[in-house]
Amino acid sequence: MPAEAATLVVSVIVNPLSGERIIIRTRPGVAGDTLAWELILTPGGRVPSSHAHPEQEERFTMLDGTMRFRVGRRRLVASPGETVRVPPGTVHHFANAGAIPARVSVETTPALGMAELLAVAAELAHDQQAAGRSLPRPLDLALFMGDFEREVRAPYLPAVLVRAITRPLAWLARTRGLDAGYRRLRARHDPAALPDMPGRPAADRG
């Protein structure tokens, strides 16, 4: 990552359920095809579930702490200076493997809508936490998966099967007006206003 990019903060996203603090380093659509972001993961923090990115490669370079990764069938622990590459379409999962926050430099290529996905996922997590729910609303999840089909898919299940489930649910939500809550959460994230984007109180911002 260029030195000037290392100090740039476009937006900060906080996910209270996963323990992720995400610092977007490049403005999508401006700095080329790669989205550069930094992940700070609290001890015990982990990505909510295994997943894959159908069209995108991710590269995780450890800066501080240790991270436990599962990439396809491989399991590994990465320390500072080590890089873990996740090819497109590969199911993966990661978690903080140590007692201190893990800090990771991440590059997602191509960027597509990954910055927006991370922001919307955090908004859904804040809403889920505030409501005291252990799981996201099924309709919210269906709408989310439909909005970000190019960026994320569920693990192991054929994409056509996932779409056969999520698309009818999303259609039902929209036609019956059941998507209002999800749309309000999405409206908090305006891609045209990324520098002020997190949509959380100032105490949550970088």
61 burial via Cβ count (<10 Å: 0-12, 13-18, 19+): middle
The answer to whether residues 138 and 169 touch, using CB atoms and an 8 Å cutoff, is yes
Cα–Cα distances (Å) from 151 to 81, 84, 102, 103, 158, in that order, read 27, 19, 24, 23, 15
pLDDT in tens, the chain (206 residues): 444 444 577 889 999 999 999 999 887 665 558 999 999 999 999 998 899 999 999 999 999 999 999 999 999 999 999 999 999 999 999 999 999 999 999 999 999 999 999 999 999 999 999 999 988 888 899 999 999 999 999 887 777 888 888 888 888 888 888 888 898 888 876 544 333 333 333 333 33
Residue 140 has, within 13 A of its CA and on its CB side, a CA count of 19
- Delineate the domains of the chain, giving CATH numbers in brackets: 3-113 (2.60.120.10), 115-204 (no CATH)
C-alpha 67/C-alpha 41 separation (Å) is: 9
Give backbone dihedrals phi and psi of 103, rounded to 5 degrees, phi first: -120, 125
Sign of the C-alpha dihedral, residues 135, 139, 144, 145?
Answer: positive
